[in-house]
Protein backbone atom coordinates (compact mmCIF):
# COMPACT_ATOMS: atom_id res chain seq x y z
CA UNK A 1 0.00 0.00 0.00
CA UNK A 2 0.91 3.66 -0.53
CA UNK A 3 3.54 2.88 -3.14
CA UNK A 4 2.16 5.67 -5.35
CA UNK A 5 1.26 8.31 -2.78
CA UNK A 6 1.20 11.82 -4.24
CA UNK A 7 1.43 10.62 -7.84
CA UNK A 8 -0.90 11.50 -10.67
CA UNK A 9 -1.61 8.68 -13.11
CA UNK A 10 -3.43 8.68 -16.43
CA UNK A 11 -4.93 5.34 -17.39
CA UNK A 12 -6.38 5.18 -20.89
CA UNK A 13 -9.21 2.73 -21.42
CA UNK A 14 -9.65 2.83 -17.66
CA UNK A 15 -13.41 2.37 -17.67
CA UNK A 16 -13.31 -1.38 -18.15
CA UNK A 17 -11.24 -4.56 -18.04
CA UNK A 18 -7.51 -4.39 -17.37
CA UNK A 19 -7.43 -0.56 -17.38
CA UNK A 20 -10.15 -0.37 -14.76
CA UNK A 21 -8.24 -2.82 -12.58
CA UNK A 22 -5.07 -0.74 -12.93
CA UNK A 23 -6.89 2.56 -12.22
CA UNK A 24 -8.44 1.18 -9.03
CA UNK A 25 -5.18 -0.41 -7.86
CA UNK A 26 -3.24 2.83 -8.45
CA UNK A 27 -5.77 4.73 -6.31
CA UNK A 28 -5.45 2.13 -3.53
CA UNK A 29 -1.71 2.77 -3.68
CA UNK A 30 -2.30 6.49 -3.13
CA UNK A 31 -2.36 7.95 -6.66
CA UNK A 32 -4.88 10.41 -8.03
CA UNK A 33 -6.15 8.91 -11.26
CA UNK A 34 -7.31 10.28 -14.59
CA UNK A 35 -9.49 7.80 -16.42
CA UNK A 36 -9.38 8.57 -20.15
CA UNK A 37 -11.87 6.38 -21.95
CA UNK A 38 -13.95 6.66 -25.09
CA UNK A 39 -17.11 5.65 -23.27
CA UNK A 40 -19.35 8.15 -21.52
CA UNK A 41 -19.06 8.63 -17.78
CA UNK A 42 -22.67 7.41 -17.44
CA UNK A 43 -21.76 3.87 -18.53
CA UNK A 44 -22.06 1.41 -15.63
CA UNK A 45 -18.39 0.38 -15.66
CA UNK A 46 -17.30 4.05 -15.74
CA UNK A 47 -19.60 4.86 -12.82
CA UNK A 48 -18.14 1.87 -10.95
CA UNK A 49 -14.50 2.89 -11.46
CA UNK A 50 -15.23 6.49 -10.44
CA UNK A 51 -16.96 5.22 -7.31
CA UNK A 52 -14.20 2.75 -6.46
CA UNK A 53 -11.47 5.40 -6.75
CA UNK A 54 -13.48 7.92 -4.75
CA UNK A 55 -13.90 5.34 -1.98
CA UNK A 56 -10.13 5.09 -1.61
CA UNK A 57 -10.05 8.80 -0.71
CA UNK A 58 -8.07 9.68 -3.81
CA UNK A 59 -9.28 12.03 -6.55
CA UNK A 60 -10.52 10.84 -9.91
CA UNK A 61 -10.92 12.86 -13.10
CA UNK A 62 -12.92 11.16 -15.83
CA UNK A 63 -12.22 12.58 -19.29
CA UNK A 64 -14.09 11.06 -22.19
CA UNK A 65 -11.34 10.66 -24.75
CA UNK A 66 -10.75 8.85 -28.01
CA UNK A 67 -7.02 8.15 -27.81
CA UNK A 68 -6.82 8.09 -31.61
CA UNK A 69 -7.94 11.73 -31.76
CA UNK A 70 -5.11 14.25 -31.41
CA UNK A 71 -7.27 17.16 -30.21
CA UNK A 72 -9.07 15.03 -27.63
CA UNK A 73 -5.79 13.64 -26.28
CA UNK A 74 -4.31 17.11 -26.01
CA UNK A 75 -7.44 18.33 -24.20
CA UNK A 76 -7.28 15.36 -21.80
CA UNK A 77 -3.64 16.11 -20.95
CA UNK A 78 -4.47 19.81 -20.46
CA UNK A 79 -7.37 18.89 -18.15
CA UNK A 80 -5.07 16.62 -16.15
CA UNK A 81 -2.51 19.36 -15.65
CA UNK A 82 -5.20 21.90 -14.83
CA UNK A 83 -6.65 19.60 -12.15
CA UNK A 84 -3.56 17.98 -10.64
CA UNK A 85 -0.63 20.15 -11.79
CA UNK A 86 1.63 17.24 -12.74
CA UNK A 87 1.63 13.83 -14.45
CA UNK A 88 3.81 11.06 -13.04
CA UNK A 89 2.46 7.90 -14.64
CA UNK A 90 0.90 7.21 -18.03
CA UNK A 91 -0.61 3.80 -18.76
CA UNK A 92 -1.38 3.40 -22.46
CA UNK A 93 -3.97 0.68 -22.07
CA UNK A 94 -6.86 1.58 -24.40
CA UNK A 95 -7.11 -1.06 -27.07
CA UNK A 96 -9.59 -2.65 -29.43
CA UNK A 97 -9.83 -5.92 -31.24
CA UNK A 98 -11.62 -7.34 -34.27
CA UNK A 99 -11.22 -10.70 -35.89
CA UNK A 100 -10.85 -11.66 -39.54
CA UNK A 101 -8.57 -13.48 -41.92
CA UNK A 102 -6.34 -10.99 -43.73
CA UNK A 103 -7.92 -11.90 -47.08
CA UNK A 104 -11.30 -10.67 -45.76
CA UNK A 105 -10.11 -7.96 -43.38
CA UNK A 106 -11.95 -4.68 -43.96
CA UNK A 107 -9.41 -1.93 -44.53
CA UNK A 108 -11.39 0.18 -42.07
CA UNK A 109 -10.74 -2.45 -39.36
CA UNK A 110 -7.00 -2.32 -40.04
CA UNK A 111 -7.06 1.48 -39.82
CA UNK A 112 -9.12 1.70 -36.64
CA UNK A 113 -7.20 -1.01 -34.76
CA UNK A 114 -3.85 0.54 -35.69
CA UNK A 115 -5.17 4.03 -34.89
CA UNK A 116 -6.41 3.16 -31.41
CA UNK A 117 -3.77 0.65 -30.33
CA UNK A 118 -0.62 2.15 -31.84
CA UNK A 119 -1.35 5.75 -32.83
CA UNK A 120 -3.25 6.21 -29.55
CA UNK A 121 -0.22 5.02 -27.60
CA UNK A 122 1.94 7.47 -29.53
CA UNK A 123 -0.46 10.42 -29.15
CA UNK A 124 -0.88 10.08 -25.39
CA UNK A 125 2.87 9.68 -25.00
CA UNK A 126 3.53 12.63 -27.32
CA UNK A 127 1.51 15.06 -25.20
CA UNK A 128 2.45 13.71 -21.76
CA UNK A 129 6.17 13.21 -22.31
CA UNK A 130 7.23 16.90 -22.47
CA UNK A 131 5.78 17.42 -18.98
CA UNK A 132 7.56 14.38 -17.58
CA UNK A 133 10.85 15.49 -19.15
CA UNK A 134 10.41 19.01 -17.78
CA UNK A 135 9.78 17.72 -14.25
CA UNK A 136 12.63 15.23 -14.57
CA UNK A 137 10.64 12.10 -13.75
CA UNK A 138 7.94 9.83 -15.07
CA UNK A 139 6.81 6.32 -15.87
CA UNK A 140 5.15 5.18 -19.06
CA UNK A 141 3.62 1.72 -19.18
CA UNK A 142 2.35 0.45 -22.51
CA UNK A 143 -0.07 -2.45 -22.62
CA UNK A 144 0.92 -4.61 -25.57
CA UNK A 145 -0.03 -8.29 -26.01
CA UNK A 146 1.74 -11.59 -26.35
CA UNK A 147 0.28 -11.63 -29.89
CA UNK A 148 2.71 -8.81 -30.66
CA UNK A 149 5.43 -11.46 -30.45
CA UNK A 150 3.84 -14.62 -31.81
CA UNK A 151 0.97 -13.30 -33.95
CA UNK A 152 -2.36 -15.04 -34.15
CA UNK A 153 -4.66 -16.38 -36.83
CA UNK A 154 -7.39 -13.88 -37.77
CA UNK A 155 -5.77 -11.11 -35.72
CA UNK A 156 -2.96 -9.93 -38.00
CA UNK A 157 -3.95 -6.27 -37.64
CA UNK A 158 -4.17 -6.54 -33.85
CA UNK A 159 -0.87 -8.45 -33.73
CA UNK A 160 0.79 -5.81 -35.93
CA UNK A 161 -0.47 -3.02 -33.68
CA UNK A 162 0.87 -4.74 -30.58
CA UNK A 163 4.20 -5.57 -32.22
CA UNK A 164 4.36 -1.85 -32.96
CA UNK A 165 3.65 -1.01 -29.33
CA UNK A 166 6.50 -3.30 -28.21
CA UNK A 167 8.97 -1.70 -30.65
CA UNK A 168 7.78 1.80 -29.75
CA UNK A 169 8.26 1.03 -26.05
CA UNK A 170 11.86 -0.10 -26.55
CA UNK A 171 12.78 2.79 -28.85
CA UNK A 172 11.26 5.42 -26.55
CA UNK A 173 12.87 3.84 -23.49
CA UNK A 174 16.27 4.39 -25.10
CA UNK A 175 15.50 8.06 -25.77
CA UNK A 176 14.41 9.07 -22.29
CA UNK A 177 15.90 6.75 -19.65
CA UNK A 178 18.82 9.03 -18.81
CA UNK A 179 16.31 11.83 -18.28
CA UNK A 180 14.57 9.76 -15.59
CA UNK A 181 11.51 8.80 -17.59
CA UNK A 182 11.27 5.02 -17.50
CA UNK A 183 9.28 3.33 -20.25
CA UNK A 184 8.23 -0.30 -20.07
CA UNK A 185 5.44 -2.52 -21.31
CA UNK A 186 3.23 -5.40 -20.33
CA UNK A 187 2.27 -8.10 -22.82
CA UNK A 188 -0.56 -10.05 -21.22
CA UNK A 189 -1.81 -13.39 -22.43
CA UNK A 190 -5.55 -13.98 -22.85
CA UNK A 191 -7.33 -12.30 -19.93
CA UNK A 192 -11.03 -12.63 -19.08
CA UNK A 193 -12.42 -9.23 -20.14
CA UNK A 194 -15.04 -8.00 -22.62
CA UNK A 195 -12.28 -7.90 -25.24
CA UNK A 196 -11.58 -11.61 -24.89
CA UNK A 197 -15.32 -12.32 -24.77
CA UNK A 198 -15.63 -10.81 -28.26
CA UNK A 199 -13.37 -13.47 -29.78
CA UNK A 200 -15.01 -16.46 -31.49
CA UNK A 201 -15.51 -19.70 -29.54
CA UNK A 202 -13.26 -21.51 -32.03
CA UNK A 203 -10.46 -19.02 -31.47
CA UNK A 204 -10.79 -19.25 -27.69
CA UNK A 205 -10.82 -23.09 -27.71
CA UNK A 206 -7.72 -23.22 -29.91
CA UNK A 207 -5.92 -20.70 -27.67
CA UNK A 208 -6.91 -22.55 -24.51
CA UNK A 209 -5.58 -25.83 -25.94
CA UNK A 210 -2.12 -24.35 -26.56
CA UNK A 211 -1.81 -22.38 -23.30
CA UNK A 212 0.69 -24.09 -20.96
CA UNK A 213 -1.27 -23.01 -17.87
CA UNK A 214 -4.52 -24.39 -19.31
CA UNK A 215 -6.78 -21.47 -18.40
CA UNK A 216 -7.37 -17.83 -19.23
CA UNK A 217 -6.06 -15.17 -16.85
CA UNK A 218 -7.87 -12.74 -14.58
CA UNK A 219 -7.46 -8.96 -14.59
CA UNK A 220 -6.10 -9.29 -11.04
CA UNK A 221 -3.22 -11.35 -12.47
CA UNK A 222 -2.06 -8.45 -14.68
CA UNK A 223 -2.67 -5.46 -12.42
CA UNK A 224 0.22 -6.08 -9.94
CA UNK A 225 2.70 -5.89 -12.81
CA UNK A 226 1.49 -2.38 -13.64
CA UNK A 227 1.68 -1.31 -9.98
CA UNK A 228 5.21 -2.69 -9.81
CA UNK A 229 6.36 -0.88 -12.97
CA UNK A 230 4.87 2.39 -11.67
CA UNK A 231 6.51 2.04 -8.25
CA UNK A 232 9.91 2.73 -6.73
CA UNK A 233 10.62 -1.01 -6.92
CA UNK A 234 11.11 -0.73 -10.68
CA UNK A 235 13.84 1.91 -10.92
CA UNK A 236 16.16 -0.31 -13.01
CA UNK A 237 13.55 -1.47 -15.54
CA UNK A 238 14.05 0.17 -18.94
CA UNK A 239 12.34 -0.97 -22.15
CA UNK A 240 11.25 -4.26 -20.62
CA UNK A 241 8.11 -6.05 -21.70
CA UNK A 242 6.81 -8.08 -18.77
CA UNK A 243 4.64 -11.06 -19.58
CA UNK A 244 1.77 -12.24 -17.37
CA UNK A 245 0.68 -14.66 -20.09
CA UNK A 246 0.16 -18.17 -18.68
CA UNK A 247 3.20 -19.37 -20.61
CA UNK A 248 1.86 -18.42 -24.05
CA UNK A 249 5.22 -16.78 -24.73
CA UNK A 250 8.45 -17.72 -22.95
CA UNK A 251 11.29 -15.34 -23.71
N1 LIG B 1 -8.07 -9.21 -22.58
C2 LIG B 1 -7.05 -9.78 -23.17
O3 LIG B 1 -7.05 -10.98 -23.42
C4 LIG B 1 -5.84 -8.96 -23.54
C5 LIG B 1 -4.64 -9.64 -23.83
C6 LIG B 1 -3.52 -8.90 -24.18
C7 LIG B 1 -3.60 -7.53 -24.24
N8 LIG B 1 -4.76 -6.90 -23.96
C9 LIG B 1 -4.77 -5.45 -24.06
O10 LIG B 1 -5.13 -4.90 -22.82
C11 LIG B 1 -5.74 -3.63 -23.04
C12 LIG B 1 -7.07 -3.59 -22.31
O13 LIG B 1 -7.91 -4.58 -22.87
P14 LIG B 1 -9.15 -5.22 -22.09
O15 LIG B 1 -9.10 -6.67 -22.33
O16 LIG B 1 -9.21 -4.69 -20.73
O17 LIG B 1 -10.33 -4.63 -22.99
P18 LIG B 1 -11.77 -4.06 -22.60
O19 LIG B 1 -12.52 -4.07 -23.88
O20 LIG B 1 -12.31 -4.79 -21.42
O21 LIG B 1 -11.45 -2.56 -22.15
C22 LIG B 1 -10.90 -1.65 -23.04
C23 LIG B 1 -11.26 -0.25 -22.63
O24 LIG B 1 -10.68 0.64 -23.59
C25 LIG B 1 -11.67 1.59 -23.97
N26 LIG B 1 -11.39 2.10 -25.31
C27 LIG B 1 -11.62 1.47 -26.49
N28 LIG B 1 -11.28 2.26 -27.51
C29 LIG B 1 -10.84 3.42 -26.97
C30 LIG B 1 -10.35 4.63 -27.53
N31 LIG B 1 -10.28 4.84 -28.84
N32 LIG B 1 -9.98 5.62 -26.67
C33 LIG B 1 -10.06 5.45 -25.32
N34 LIG B 1 -10.54 4.33 -24.76
C35 LIG B 1 -10.91 3.32 -25.56
C36 LIG B 1 -12.97 0.85 -23.87
O37 LIG B 1 -14.09 1.74 -23.79
C38 LIG B 1 -12.77 0.02 -22.62
O39 LIG B 1 -13.16 0.72 -21.47
C40 LIG B 1 -5.88 -3.47 -24.55
O41 LIG B 1 -4.80 -2.69 -25.04
C42 LIG B 1 -5.77 -4.90 -25.04
O43 LIG B 1 -5.30 -4.95 -26.37
C44 LIG B 1 -5.89 -7.57 -23.60
- Residue by residue, pLDDT tens for the chain (251 residues) are 899 999 999 999 999 999 999 999 999 999 999 999 999 999 999 999 999 999 999 999 999 999 999 999 999 999 999 999 999 999 999 999 999 999 999 999 999 999 999 999 999 999 999 999 999 999 999 999 999 999 999 999 999 999 999 999 999 999 999 999 999 999 999 999 999 999 999 999 999 999 999 999 999 999 999 999 999 999 999 999 999 999 999 98
- Is 127 contained in some domain? yes
**pLDDT for the residue 72:** 98
- Is 116 contained in some domain? yes
The residue range of the domain holding 46 is 8-242
Q: What CA–CA distance (Å, rounded) separates 181 from 136?
A: 7
Best of 11, 13, 50 for a ligand 1 pocket test (most atoms within 8 Å of beta carbon): 13
SS3 assignment, position 106: coil
- Is 79 contained in some domain? yes
**pLDDT for the residue 1:** 80
**pLDDT for the residue 9:** 99
- Is 95 contained in some domain? yes
96 Cα–ligand 1 center, Å: 5
Q: What CA–CA distance (Å, rounded) separates 72 from 123?
A: 10
- Is 247 contained in some domain? no
* Cβ < 6 A, ligand 1 pocket: 12-13, 15-19, 37-39, 65-68, 93-96, 116, 120, 143, 145, 188, 190-191, 193-196
SS3 assignment, position 125: helix
Question: What percent of the chain is predicted at pLDDT more than 70?
Answer: 100
66 Cα–ligand 1 center, Å: 12
Greatest CA separation found in the chain?
51
112 Cα–ligand 1 center, Å: 13
The mean pLDDT value of the chain amounts to: 97
Best of 95, 150, 155 for a ligand 1 pocket test (most atoms within 8 Å of beta carbon): 95
- Is 33 contained in some domain? yes
Give CA separation, 1 vs 21, 140, 198, 224, in Å: 15, 20, 34, 12
Beta bridge partners of 58: none
Beta bridge partners of 182: 139
Annotated catalytic residue 237:
no
Protein residue closest via CA to atom 30 of ligand 1 = 66
Contact 34, 11 (CB under 8 A): yes
- Is 117 contained in some domain? yes
Give CA separation, 5 vs 27, 62, 176, 185, 198, in Å: 9, 19, 24, 22, 36
178 Cα–ligand 1 center, Å: 31
Backbone angles phi, psi at 215, to 5 degrees: -155, 160
| Structural domains counted in the chain | 1
Domain of residue 231, CATH code? 3.40.50.720
- Is 2 contained in some domain? no
Amino acid sequence: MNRLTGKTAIVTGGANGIGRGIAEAFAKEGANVVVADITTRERATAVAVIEAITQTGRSVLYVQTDVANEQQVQAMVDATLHTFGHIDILVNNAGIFTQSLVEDLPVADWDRVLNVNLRGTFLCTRFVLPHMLAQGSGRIINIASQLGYIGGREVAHYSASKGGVIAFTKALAREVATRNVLVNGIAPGPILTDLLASETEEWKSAKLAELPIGRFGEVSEVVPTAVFLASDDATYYVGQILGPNGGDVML
